[in-house]
């Protein structure tokens, strides 16, 4: 343990076995190491943004066992918003201080490619300064298949229609056996990574998530991080790694044992140590709870995502995020936890120290 600890302290890269062995360490040693890494980069700063999530349709051709959002027997409530409805949501966003709209939909085979794309152009035409973060690699794959286009064509269309960056959704767990079990039929791990590679090759940035705390094992999480680290070595296009804690309600994945806060914090800390080439580690308060996200700031996380306003995907599965979080409350909580809240834009340029 001492050799590995020294290696981590001096910033030497660790391999799969070493990373996996970190789970056997005590939480506080791991926390100290991850906190040192975080403080080397950002000191006491904790980043967040003022953003708005929009989930325009829940009609989906895929059936992911963990998903409570898509219209199904457990959520018999299909909807598809019109562009007018979506534009109604974004009306006044600039006045509300919002700098980013984060648009993620289900894979709706009846909506049409133009429906998916035009909304970005319309938002940009009305609010050119607002950053549009939209279309997960899972959606890109769906659109490419549905409309017989290549990934290159879809990615070029996204740029043409005003998408600024890609969110990290749809990565789930890259291990093929687990992936097959939890979301067979949607974008494969290789395809997910290929789409992000192509996006980065266009000079664009994105995030990467990892859905954990369900049926995966520790080694699958480390494998996921290693695949992210490999691609990041080649492209440098990922801004943030976002571990998403599995929410258990209203879905078809039967998980018997829930992950503990202890294991979640270890996972953040290990991610901070392993992903030496990804600048930011996001404790997404929606899935971790706000309380644990605040603690995660001392276990390597430097970013808490944002105010969100509305959230449908994780709240459908039990997260307390349906109405976002109040800005003043969010800032107050970060301050009271001993950190300096720094509002950032979507690409992590600092906007304001609160």
Sequence-distant (6+) residues with CB within 8 A of 211 are 66, 171, 172, 173, 182, 244, 246
Is residue 128 exposed (0-12), middle (13-18) or buried (19+ Cβ within 10 Å)?
A: exposed
Rounded least distance, CB 14 to ligand V47, Å: 25
Q: Taking CB under 6 A as the rule, does residue 209 contact ligand V47?
A: yes
Told to check if 300 binds ligand V47 by CB under 6 A, we report no
Q: Is 242 in the site for ligand V47 (CB under 6 A)?
A: yes
172 binds ligand V47 (CB under 6 A): yes
Q: Is residue 168 at the binding interface for ligand V47, with CB under 6 A as the rule?
A: yes
Helix H or strand E segment including 156: helix 151-161
Kindly state the tokens that stand for 58: 């829940």
The mark string for 128-157 relative to ligand V47 (x by CB under 6 A, - otherwise) is --------x---------------------
70 binds ligand V47 (CB under 6 A): no
Kindly tell me which residue out of 47, 48, 66, 339 binds ligand V47, with binding defined by CB under 6 A: 66
Q: Considering the rule CB under 6 A, would residue 314 count as an interface residue with ligand V47?
A: yes
Distance in Å, CB of 135 to ligand V47, minimum: 11
**């804690």: which residue's tokens?**
245
Burial grade of 117 (CB within 10 A; 0-12, 13-18, 19 or more): buried
Give the up-direction half-sphere exposure of residue 57: CA atoms within 13 A in the CB hemisphere.
Answer: 19
158: tokens are 């996204």
Report, in Å, the least distance between residue 15 CB and ligand V47: 27
The stretch near ligand V47 (CB under 6 A) out of 34-42, 80-88, 190-198, 239-247 is: 239-247
183 interacts with ligand V47 by CB under 6 A: no
- H-type helices in 184-280, by residue range? 189-201, 218-235, 261-274
Using CA atoms, how far apart are residues 47 and 100, in angstroms rounded to an integer? Answer: 14
State which H helix or E strand residue 119 sits in.
helix 113-126
Residue closer to ligand V47 by CB (options 305, 309) is 305
67 binds ligand V47 (CB under 6 A): yes
Q: Which positions touch ligand V47 (CB under 6 A)?
A: 66-68, 104, 136, 167-170, 172, 207, 209, 211, 242, 244, 246-247, 251, 284, 287, 305, 313-314, 317
């Amino acid at each position: 343990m001492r050799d590995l600890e020294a290696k981590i302290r001096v910033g030497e890269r660790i391999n799969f076995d070493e990373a996996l062995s970190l789970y056997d360490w005590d939480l506080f040693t791991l926390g100290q190491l991850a906190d040192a890494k975080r403080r080397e980069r950002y000191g006491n700063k904790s980043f967040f943004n003022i953003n708005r999530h929009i989930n325009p349709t829940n009609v989906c051709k895929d059936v992911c066992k963990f998903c409570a959002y898509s219209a199904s027997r457990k959520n018999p409530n299909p909807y598809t918003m019109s562009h007018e409805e979506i534009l109604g949501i974004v009306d006044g966003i600039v006045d509300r201080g919002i700098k980013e709209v984060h648009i993620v939909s289900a894979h709706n085979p009846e909506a049409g490619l133009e429906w998916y794309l035009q909304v970005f152009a319309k938002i940009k035409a009305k609010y050119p300064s607002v950053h549009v973060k939209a279309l997960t690699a899972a959606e890109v794959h769906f659109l490419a298949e549905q409309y017989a286009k290549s990934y290159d064509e879809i990615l070029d269309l996204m740029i043409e229609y005003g998408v600024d960056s890609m969110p990290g959704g749809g990565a789930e767990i890259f291990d093929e056996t687990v992936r097959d079990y939890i979301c067979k039929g949607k974008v494969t791990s290789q395809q997910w990574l290929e789409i992000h590679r192509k996006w980065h090759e266009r000079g664009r940035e994105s995030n990467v998530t990892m859905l954990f705390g369900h049926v995966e094992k520790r080694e699958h999480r480390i494998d996921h991080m290693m695949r992210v680290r490999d691609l990041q070595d080649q492209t440098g296009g990922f801004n943030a790694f976002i571990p998403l804690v599995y929410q258990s309600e209203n879905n078809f994945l039967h998980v018997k044992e829930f992950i503990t806060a202890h294991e979640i914090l270890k996972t953040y800390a290990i991610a901070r140590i392993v992903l030496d080439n990804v600048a930011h580690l996001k404790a997404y308060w929606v899935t971790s709870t706000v309380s644990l996200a605040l603690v995660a700031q001392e276990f390597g996380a430097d970013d808490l995502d944002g105010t969100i306003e509305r959230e449908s995907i994780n709240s459908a599965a039990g997260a307390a995020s349906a109405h976002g979080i109040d800005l003043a409350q969010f800032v107050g909580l970060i301050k009271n936890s001993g950190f300096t809240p720094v509002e950032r834009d979507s690409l992590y340029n600092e906007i304001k120290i609160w």
